[in-house]
Amino acid sequence: MSGQDAAAMKVSRSAKMVFILPALCFEILSGENRILSGHRRILAKKRMNWLLAIAVVVIGAAFLSLNAGGNVAAVVLSILGSAAIAEILYWIASRRYGGQFSIESLRLGKMGIAILIGYLALLYIVTFVFLLPERIAPPLTILLTFCIYAVIVLLMYLKKPDEPGAGDLALQTKHFSRNDLVILLTMLTILGIICSLLLPVISVPIVILYLTLVAMGPVLLLVTLWDIWKDRRKGAVSAA
C-alpha cells in the first residue's frame, strides 16, 4: 500500500468520525434530555445500539493501531489525549453556560458556516503547501474529496430540519450516559493496545474490513437519499 493510499484512508476515516461521533458524544456528556430529535433513536440505551457502539469501538481500535504503526504509546496517548481535551473543553463551556448548555448551543448560522468553510479551506492550504507538500494526493483523489464534501453539503441542504423545540422534549427511554462513555473509552484503550501488539497478524483483516466499509458507502448513501426523499414528500403532502 502506497503512502498516498494510506493517507487517503486516514482522511476518509477521520472525516466520518469528525462529522458524526463528536456530536453524539457531546449530547451524552450534556446529561440533558434536550438532544436533537433525530438522534433519539441512536442514543437510546438499547441492545442494538450497544452492539453498534461496541462495533464502532472495535473498528476504531483496529484503524487507530494501523495508523500508529503498532505504536502502543501513540495509540494510548491519542485516545486519552483526545478524551482529556474534550472533557476540559466541555467543563469550561458548561461552567460558562451552566444549565443552558446543550447541543442546541452548537447550531451554526450563516456566519458560522462561512467561518467554518474558510477555516477548512485554510487548513487544507496550509497542510498541503507548508507541512506535507511531498504527500499531496493525486488530482483525482483531491477532486473526489471535494465531490464528497459537495454531496454532504447538498444532503444537509435537502434534509428537512428538525421542528423547533423538538429537541427539548424528554426522552421516553433511557439513553447513553457519561458512565457508558467511560466504559466505551476503556474498551477502546484496551482494544487499541491489543490490536497494536497483534498488528502483524491482523493487518490484512483490518484492510479487508476497511474495503468492506468502503463498499457499504454507496448503500448508506442510497438509504440516506431515500429517507430525505420521504421526509420532503411528507412535507409537501402536509403543505398541500
pLDDT, tens only, 179-190:
898 999 999 999
How far is it, in rounded angstroms, from Cα 9 to Cα 121?
20
Q: Which three cell numbers stand for residue 45?
A: 440505551
Question: Of the ranges 14-18, 44-48, 102-106, 235-239, which one carries the lowest mean pLDDT score?
Answer: 14-18
pLDDT digits (tens, 9 = 90+) for 80-133: 888 888 788 777 777 776 666 666 666 666 777 788 788 878 887 777 777 666
Neighbours of 60 (CB within 10 A): 20
Mean pLDDT of 150-168: 65
DSSP string, 103-160: GGGG---HHHHHHHHHHHHHHHHHIIIII-GGGPPPHHHHHHHHHHHHHHHHHHHHSP
Give the CA count within 13 Å in the CB-facing half-sphere of 124.
Answer: 10
More confident residue, 74 or 26: 74
